[in-house]
A and B are shown apart, each in its own frame.
Chain A
């Protein structure tokens, strides 16, 4: 009984840490531009597919390396590729709409999302690609009756490292201070000598690098990658960002973990609760129930205070 709960908590932490990393990308862009970058989930998809191609290439070109090296190489190609895409999206699609009415960039974001999916479909086809399982997927018993796979451990570890790194960057460096200053007031930040366009571009670049890692982690956990795989995690991470209070970094992380836990625990018990009417494949409903409840009762999220005027 308690094992089942513990097991669901572990599963929730794994999924939640990925949501948290993706949610950071949404929340950073929202914090600085007041824009919901709906293409963010698709950047994650591109990361996974680029890593898939890179890993396949390196396995053929330099055979015999340790699996972890191929995994690292995949990440090292996927991250800069996504950073370039994030930069290009900001530069070409969003920058000229900086002062346009709010609906214009929102519709553009949805358009960019379709564009990325279509391009990915042209490049990688409509099929599911089986993503190389480079990290062990055999469960290890960590407490009696509670299991965790090495790929899950890697996911949590990498996510935690990215989150710590980002928090340090934002709170401890000049660049991070300039990001916070720009988020609060572009005009005054420029009066301090901050190239605010550069800072905004940087925000997209960092968010996209995080998305690349998340994409590779998701593909590694499920063993598949395909052109529409960004949609659901993107929506979940957006929910997580709203849950935590969009625009708030700590909120995105808390929101991601909470959402992961709710989903995993819900998935574990939904069959019992509904008397067998629903099963664990309905776990996605929890995210949207949460999104609905938050938007109705606490639109500023768990940790947010201001926001409502922008959303």
Chain B
């Protein structure tokens, strides 16, 4: 795909609308991601964050507006082709294949690849990054703890060698130590040049790490700016960082 102009966004949503039947969940949003950025998308429950990520990954269709990736429109591209193009989603709730083993789950991430030797070395890299996963390779993935499942879900997404990684609340319901580990992994991924769009409830943590962020409220983007600015924005602080209004 042509993506020569470094100033052009890697991903661009323009006036994007997404509906579940009659229910408008996302009501015309503009969102841009530039190569190498870590951008977070924060907002209250039901704001439309998951809906937006699913539409970018292709498991939901836009009902209006445009979506382009690496300079080409992809709104009508099916999800499995978007993965091949470099968009990987770690879905809300992790989406582990509970009846497959941990190793099979990871290998599913490399399903579209044919470079056997490279896949093995990528697997080794994932094991180094997530040693707890390595200990459990032959185990049926449904028996893993929530934190371990999240690690597998992230490792699996990385095995597709994405250019754009979408993470939907990777820290949900996990202990602080594991959350820390996950953010460590995100840092490593960013260093490798992967662009990341992160949806997080833990806005404090997410904003601290992000280059930029968008705030979403009932299907619309109401604020955007650098992570630092939003972290210090009084509206954000009162709404999402638990400070008294």
Contact = CB atoms under 8 A, between A and B. Distances in A.
A177 B100 contact: yes
B167 interface: no
B97 A193 contact: no
B75 interface: no
Interface residues of A, number: 17
Contacts of A181: 97, 100, 108
B24 to A, nearest CB: 20
B134 to A, nearest CB: 19
Contacts of B59: 187, 190-191
B97 A180 contact: yes
A32 to B, nearest CB: 13
B80 A195 contact: yes
A193 B111 contact: yes
Interface string B65-94: 000000000000011100110001101000
B57 A191 contact: yes
Contact of B95 (A185, A193, A195): A185
B160 interface: yes
B111 A194 contact: yes
Contact of A193 (B83, B98, B99, B107): B83
Interface in B23-79: 57-59, 78-79
Contact of A192 (B58, B98, B99, B156): B156
A192 B160 contact: yes
Interface string A164-183: 00000000001001101100
Nearest to B113: A193
Nearest to A183: B99
A207 to B, nearest CB: 20
B108 A177 contact: yes
Nearest to A174: B111
A177 B95 contact: no
B96 to A, nearest CB: 8
A190 B89 CA distance: 10
Contacts of B156: 192
Contacts of B155: none
A192 B83 contact: yes
B109 interface: yes
A178 B111 contact: yes
B112 interface: yes
A181 B111 CA distance: 11
Contacts of A190: 58-59, 78-80, 83
A201 B58 CA distance: 21
B15 interface: no
B62 to A, nearest CB: 17
A245 B24 CA distance: 41
B104 interface: yes
A188 interface: yes
Interface string A50-94: 000000000000000000000000000000000000000000000
A8 interface: no
A187 B59 CA distance: 7
Contacts of B78: 190, 195
Contact of B160 (A185, A187, A193, A195): A193
Contacts of B88: 191
9 contacts: A184-B97, A188-B97, A189-B108, A190-B80, A192-B80, A192-B108, A192-B160, A193-B160, A194-B111
Interface of B: 57-59, 78-80, 83-84, 88-89, 91, 95, 97-100, 104, 107-109, 111-112, 156, 160
Given A177-B100, A178-B108, A192-B160, 13 more contacts: A177-B107, A180-B99, A181-B100, A184-B97, A184-B100, A187-B59, A187-B91, A190-B58, A191-B88, A191-B91, A192-B83, A192-B108, A196-B80
